[in-house]
Amino acid sequence: MVRPSQLLHSQREPVPTRPAATVLLLRDTPQGIEVLMTRRSMTASFAPGAYVFPGGGVDAADSAAHAIAARRPTQSELHLTQAIAAIRESFEELGILLARHADGRPANAADIAALDRKAPFAAQCQARGLTLAADQVFVLAHWITDRDLPRRFDVPFLVARMPEGQQPVADEAEQFEPVWVRPVDALARHRAGQFFIIFPTIRTLERLQAFQSVDEVLAACASEQPLWTSCPRAGFLAGREARYMEHEMPYGELELVSPDGQIVHHLDWQTEQPVALLKNVQRLTAPNPGVMTGPGTNSYLVGDPASGYIAIDPGPDDAAHLERLWRAVKGDIRLIVCTHSHPDHSPGARPLQALCAGKPPILGLPSAPTARSASHFVPDRVLQNQEHLVTQGQGLPHTLKVIFTPGHAANHLCLVLLEDGLLFSGDHILNGSTTVVDPPDGDMTAYLESLDTLSAACGEHGIGFILPAHGHVLGHARQAIAHLKAHRLKREAKIIAAMQARPGGTLDEWVELAYDDVPPRMWPVAARSLLAHVERIQSLQGTP
C-alpha cells in the first residue's frame, strides 16, 4: 500500500453513495434490440438533459413491498428490493407497469389507468391484486458513481423485457420524450452531438451492442451476478476530462495518482517533462514510440531530494532524453538499474552515468550468450536475486527489492518498491499489449514461471500497482498478472490446436490460425512468441 506521505494530493473522503436502481427495458425488432430511453429534465440535479434509462433512488417502501413481488429462488433480498425500485420508477416516470394478476395475466391499460403515479405505488398494486414481476428483472451491471462527483449513487443497471401492449408516457416532470432506440444508433447520435448521454450509459450501450436478442441478454444475466462492476475514474486527455473503466489502460494510473478521485492527472504522452506519479516516483518517457515500444520506453526515478535517486531503465542512448532525466533530479542519481539489456532499455546507462558527478554504479544482470548483438550489456555490478537497493534521507527510506524474472530476456529482472507496494516490471508485464518472448534469449516456460514469482511477491509485499516499461500504470496487480497468464495459456491452447490442424506446418502457417485475432502486419512479431510456445509445448510433450 502506498504511504500516505508519498501521495501527490491531500486525501479526502468522497461523498457517500445513495442506493438507486435503473432498468433497461428491451424489445426485439427485425433490426435488432431496442432499448427505451427518456430525456431528463433540464433542471435535474444529476445529468440534466441527458437521455437515460428509467430509474431512481431506492426507498424504504421498496423493501417493504417484498410480500407482493414475485422472485426467483436465486434472487437475493437486495436484488429483489432493487428490482421493485426499478419497477416503481418505470411506472412513476413512464407509466410502464411490470406486474401481473393472480391468474398470471399481465397488467394492462386498465390497470395502468387505475393507478395514480403520485400515490404510494405498492399499496395501490396490492389493492388491485397485482403482483410485481420482480422475477422478470435481472441484474446486468453494477455502477458506482465516480469519486469526484458531488452526488454519488450505488446503482445496479437492471434489464427486463418490455411488457407487450404497453406504451411509455413520460411524466413530463422528471422525464421527457421517451424513445426506442438501437444501441448503435444512440451511440452514433451521441457522437454527432444530437443525443446527450453520460459515461455509464455510453459504456452500457456499447456492451449491449454485442447481443442479438432480448433472450440472449436475459440468458447472460441468469447467474444473478453483474456482467461488470465499475466505479469510473477521470483525468485529462488533450485538455479535456476523460473517464475510464477498470479494464481500460489509464485506470490504474489514475487510481495511483489520485486515489480519492480528484481530476488532476494528465494522461497525454509527452517526452519533455517527467510525470510525477508519487512524491518519490517520477516517469520520463523516451522519444522512441513505435510498434514494439508503444508510446516509448518509460524511465523511472525513485527517491526524493534528501535521499537522492535511483534511475530505472535509462532507455536508449538519446542525449536529450538522458539530459532530461539528469535535470529532473538535478543530477543527484545514486544508482542506475537496468531491468534487462534490450536496446530500448540499457544503452543510455553509460552516457547517463557520465553526466552524473558521482558516477553512480550501473546495476543489473549481464546479457546472456543467447542475447542478440544489439542487446550486449555488462553492468558495473551484478545484482543478486532478492537483494535490496536503498536510498534514504531524513529518515525516509525507498527500498527496491530485486526479483529475477527471466523469460522475456534471460537477464530480465523486476524491482519492488517495498514501502509503497509498487512493482517496476520492465518488459515482463506491459499495459495494453503482451510482451514478445523471442528465443533463444526468451523462454516461455521461464516467462510463465516468472509470472508466478511476481504474483507471489504481490501477495507477500502488498503490491497494488505495476509500473511497466511501456504504457500507463496498471492497478490491481495480482489480478493483472492472473489475467496475463490466462491470456498466454489461452494463446498456447490456440497454438496447440493450430499444430494439430496442420501437422508438420511452418510457423507462418500456424501463426495464421493461432493469431487470427491479431492484424496480419503483426504476425512476423507474433511468430517469435509462437516459436517460444512451440518450444515449450514440445518440451512438455517430450518431443524435440
Question: Which of 79, 197, 95 lies closest to 140 in space, CA to CA?
Answer: 79
Give me the pLDDT at residue 543, please. Answer: 67
Listing DSSP states for 36-99 in one string gives: EEEEEPTT-SSSTT-EE-SEEE--HHHHHTGGGB---TT--HHHHHHHHHHHHHHHHHH----E
Amino acid in the structure at residue 368: A
Phi, psi of 440 (to 5 degrees): -85, -15
Amino acid in the structure at residue 342: H
Q: What stretch of H or E contains 237? A: strand 233-237
Q: With DSSP H G I counted as helix, E B as strand and the rest as coil, what are the percentages for the chain, rounded to 5?
A: 30, 25, 45
Cα–Cα distance for residue pair 143/460, rounded to 1 Å: 31
Query: What is the tens place of the pLDDT at every residue in 397-456?
Result: 999 999 999 999 999 999 999 999 999 999 999 998 899 999 999 999 999 999 999 999
Listing DSSP states for 338-372 in one string gives: -S---TTTSTTHHHHHHHSTT-PPEEE-PPPTTS-
Q: How far is CA 308 from CA 80, 311, 342, 387, 397, in A?
A: 58, 10, 26, 19, 10
291 Cβ neighbours under 8 A, 6+ residues apart: 522, 525
Neighbours of 60 (CB within 10 A): 8
- Give me the residues of the chain with pLDDT under 70, please: 543-544
Question: Which of 326, 334, 338 lies closest to 378 in space, CA to CA?
Answer: 338
Q: Where are the alpha helices (DSSP H) in 384-466?
A: 444-461
Could you tell me the domains of the chain? 17-231 (3.90.79.10), 269-477 (3.60.15.10), 489-541 (no CATH)
Give me the pLDDT at residue 487, please. Answer: 96
Q: Where are the alpha helices (DSSP H) in 170-212?
A: 183-191, 199-208
